[in-house]
Chains A and B, each alone.
Chain A
Amino acid sequence: MEADQLRFILQELRFSAVLPVEGLGRLAEESTVRRVAAGEVVFRDGSTNNNLYLIRSGRLALEMNVPGRGAVRILTLGAGEMVGWSALLGQGKMTAGAIAIEDSDVVVASADRLRELCEADRDFGFLLMRQMADALSKRLVATRLQLLDLFADAPSLIPTQQAD
């Protein structure tokens, strides 16, 4: 796929849409689009991965391996979402695995090259890392809400039907 085509794709994805066109052009030059079939593993929990993935279409699931329970699905992500943040931070060992739960297209960018782009263009780097922080903060809040177990059978937590 031509870099120009890829830049247009990146402009439409929620994660990258706010990045400046010039930076997107450079990002596009370092990226490819990959088709991932349903059930295909993108990267495994604990594996070394050096790519950042942006979901163009389809859905990926993040899974963590739990001894005795196998791969536990903890989050699903859809179009416009980012996967593989550990690689961008230079922590190539993945904290969770990613698997396609339907046929998906992902934009794949080398994390090493992205970090070099960030170093060379600090404004671009700031915006990219801000997007990363925004995505991770949403996942952190979502995880906290999951921890609260809001739909458990505690009467005081069920507002649509008061405890009697």
Chain B
Amino acid sequence: MSDGYASRMPTPEAAARPWQTHTVAIRDVRREVEGVSTYDLAFLDDTVREAYRFAPGQFNMLYLPGAGEIAISVSDDPRNTEAYGHTIRVAGNVTRTLAGLGVGETLGLRGPFGTSWPLSECIGRDVVIVCGGIGLAPLRPAICTLLQDRQQFGRLNLLYGARSSDTLLFEREYDDWSRQGMDVQTTVDRSSPGWLGNVGVVTLLLDQLPSFDPHNTVLMCCGPEVMMKFTVMAALNSGLSEQQIWVSMERNMQCAVGLCGHCQLGPTFICKDGPVFRYDKIAPFIDVEGL
């Protein structure tokens, strides 16, 4: 089946000039939850803007002079071509510096890099998306794409876990996603007064999922690695095979083109061969201590 949605390789521009950083301006900043904001970044160069395309799951390298460079997945609807949302949690020097910037200020961007979610393989099949914490951000472009072509797919389920109800990402969009045909279930590790939703880890939601055909399902997963490991175990117990499961891995990505080796996992480089992997491709390396 041809991939009608996206290439799973960097765009020709990024592949040809992986080191070329383009200047982008911050068009908008939206606070999502405490410590997490979405930055809409727009290319200043019209030619670059017109040529740039990303596939759901791919990432960009964001460069802040004097602070450093960091890999961030695009969290926007791929149909948006004017500016690209990057949902970022303040976690270190670069993101702290970024958090100090406002609308109109500029930074560098190179990309997109890496593999994408297998949306073409989802056609005609049920899709289960399992994610936790900020792991919903790299899956948001895939959700937008699935809902845009809703009739192409079977049952769509989103199972999302967060630490608490006030850290649920993109909560304002859940109703829209539900209306468009996705069953959205959330759960939190810690309940708070007034919370009437689910409590418990997200893997339990997978066990409780009433309506999906394990033999005709694609499962996409993104979140802390331990969470993904137990999600995969639950999925395999439900009857899915390793070939039906896709995970987004992350390591210390620095060059984004598989040269520096910082993100090596066994024989693969997360930046170049991932971040999205079919599970059977990386299963032998997941439980290896120190990798």
Binding site for B on A (CB under 8 A): 14, 59, 61, 72-81, 101, 138, 141-142, 145-146, 148-153, 155, 157-164
CB nearest to A147 among chain B residues: B189
7 smallest beta-carbon distances between A and B, as pairs: A159-B250, A164-B94, A164-B92, A151-B163, A73-B191, A151-B133, A150-B224
A153 vs chain B, min Cβ distance (A) = 7
B208/A80 in contact, CB under 8 A: yes
The stretch among B67-75, B77-85, B212-220 that forms the contact with chain A is B67-75
Residues 79-101 of chain B: 1 if any A CB is under 8 Å from the residue's CB, otherwise 0? 00000000011011111000000
B200/A157 in contact, CB under 8 A: no
Q: Which residues of B contact A157 (CB under 8 A)?
A: 224
- Majority SS of interface residues in chain B? mixed
CB nearest to A154 among chain B residues: B91
B226/A145 in contact, CB under 8 A: yes
Residues 211-234 of chain B: 1 if any A CB is under 8 Å from the residue's CB, otherwise 0? 000000000001111110010000
B178 contacts partner chain A, Cβ-Cβ < 8 Å: no
A54 vs chain B, min Cβ distance (A) = 13
User: Could you list 14 further interchain pairs (A-B, Cβ under 8 angstroms) beyond the known A151-B162, A161-B134?
Assistant: A73-B199, A76-B200, A79-B208, A101-B196, A142-B200, A145-B227, A146-B190, A150-B189, A150-B227, A158-B133, A161-B89, A161-B137, A163-B92, A164-B91
Q: Which residues of B contact A155 (CB under 8 A)?
A: 91-92
A160/B138 in contact, CB under 8 A: yes
* B224 CB contact (under 8 Å) in A79, A142, A159: A159
- Majority SS of interface residues in chain A? loop
Q: Which residues of A contact B135 (CB under 8 A)?
A: 159-160
Q: Which residues of A contact B252 (CB under 8 A)?
A: 162
A147 vs chain B, min Cβ distance (A) = 9
Interface residues of B in 150-188 (CB under 8 A from A): 161-163, 167, 187
Q: Which residues of A contact B35 (CB under 8 A)?
A: 153
B203 contacts partner chain A, Cβ-Cβ < 8 Å: yes
B70/A162 in contact, CB under 8 A: yes
B223/A150 in contact, CB under 8 A: yes
Q: Which residues of B contact A73 (CB under 8 A)?
A: 191, 195, 199
A161/B224 in contact, CB under 8 A: no
B251 contacts partner chain A, Cβ-Cβ < 8 Å: yes
CB nearest to A59 among chain B residues: B198
* B133 CB contact (under 8 Å) in A78, A138, A150: A150
A150/B226 in contact, CB under 8 A: yes
CB nearest to B67 among chain A residues: A164
B234 vs chain A, min Cβ distance (A) = 8
CB nearest to B68 among chain A residues: A164
Q: State A74–B95 Cα separation when bound (angstroms).
A: 33
Q: Which residues of A contact B167 (CB under 8 A)?
A: 151
Q: Which residues of A contact B70 (CB under 8 A)?
A: 161-162, 164
Q: Which residues of A contact B250 (CB under 8 A)?
A: 159-162
Q: Which of A148, A151, A152, A157 has the largest number of chain B CB atoms within 10 A?
A: A151
Q: State A9–B71 Cα separation when bound (angstroms).
A: 51
A133 vs chain B, min Cβ distance (A) = 14
Q: Which residues of B contact A72 (CB under 8 A)?
A: 191
